[in-house]
Structure 1
Amino acid sequence: MKKRSIKNTRVNTEVQRELSSIIRGGIKDPRVAPWTSVVAAEVAPDLKTCKAYISVLGDEEAQKETIKGLQSAEGYIRRELARNLNMRNTPEIKFILDQSIEYGVNMSKKIEEVTKTTVKDEADAE
């Protein structure tokens, strides 16, 4: 199976969707922040391992605690994943912190600030 085959892309999408629903609805660990989302999931072609890219909206401490909570709940997450998806192997999940959503929010705020000051400067010039 090629790395970017249609089957692998479909498996990645299904695993990402199921991980999102499991994290959102099934984990009761207080360390897992409520604003946790699965940005992407990359399942190896042999279906043995999976890298789950997790984005947490919050400070650095909340992000670290969320990753710790998810790592401690990996057994439960794998069991739920095996129950919901019909796969030959249920992959071992490695949770990786992804900063992309937080980076996008910060960039949007900076763009908004620059736009406001530009509009204000133009109004003062007239």
Structure 2
Amino acid sequence: MAKEFSRTRRIGQQLQQELAQVLHRDIKDPRVGMVTVNDVEVSRDLSYAKVFVTFFEEDEKIVAEKLEALSSAAGYIRSLVAGRMKLRVMPELRFIYDASLVEGMRMSNLVTRVIHNDEAKQKKANRDEQGEDKDQQGED
């Protein structure tokens, strides 16, 4: 069982590399644009592969159009990749938008914003303390 799992993982990694090259070099459809293949999960029987992709665009409508373009070209992409890989069975490709990168960037921006707000509050508190210290020294 462990060997089969490692084999599917290796095939998934090779498939990811080949798909990235094919999408970058061979797919000329302007609807697809810049696409990044983040991960590929291959089924144990190699009958299908989930291809997780991200795009330069974040707009949901544009992302849906790009996914539709990839899905419509899945057979052609599959045939190009099959010519590059030596597999008896080439998995059926299912393209899925991977929102984790966008979500990670959003979370990073939120953390950065909170840090800046805390720093600003700390500076203000320090200035207020210094002002109170000067007032107390003047009274003495």
When normalised by structure 2's length, the TM-score is 0.81
Three-state SS of the structure 2 residue aligned to 1:42 is strand
The answer to whether the 8 Å contact 2:5/2:44 transfers is no
Question: What displacement does 1:14 show?
Answer: 0.6
Q: Which structure ranks higher in relative contact order (CA pairs < 8 Å, sequence separation ≥ 6)? A: 1
Number of equivalenced pairs = 125
Deviation larger for 105-114 or 37-46: 37-46
Aligned pair 1:11/2:11, yes or no? yes
Question: What displacement does 1:2 show?
Answer: 5.5
Gap regions ≥5 residues in structure 1: none
Three-state SS of the structure 2 residue aligned to 1:5 is helix
Q: 1:59 maps to what in 2? A: 59
The answer to whether the 8 Å contact 2:31/2:66 transfers is yes
Runs (4+) of structure 1 exceeding 2 A deviation are 1-4
The answer to whether the 8 Å contact 1:2/1:45 transfers is no
When normalised by structure 1's length, the TM-score is 0.90
Gap regions ≥5 residues in structure 2: 127-140
The answer to whether the 8 Å contact 1:39/1:98 transfers is yes
Q: 1:22 maps to what in 2? A: 22
The answer to whether the 8 Å contact 2:39/2:52 transfers is yes
Q: 1:92 maps to what in 2? A: 92
Deviation sequence 1:90-125 (CA, Å, 0-9, x none): 111111122100100111111111111111111111
Q: 2:108 maps to what in 1? A: 108
Name the Cα RMSD after superposition: 1.7
The answer to whether the 8 Å contact 1:44/1:50 transfers is yes
Q: 1:41 maps to what in 2? A: 40
Looking at secondary structure, tell me which structure has more helix per residue.
2
Specify whether residues 33 and 106 from structure 1 end up closer, same or farther in structure 2 by C-alpha distance, changes over 3 A only: farther
Question: What displacement does 1:26 show?
Answer: 1.8
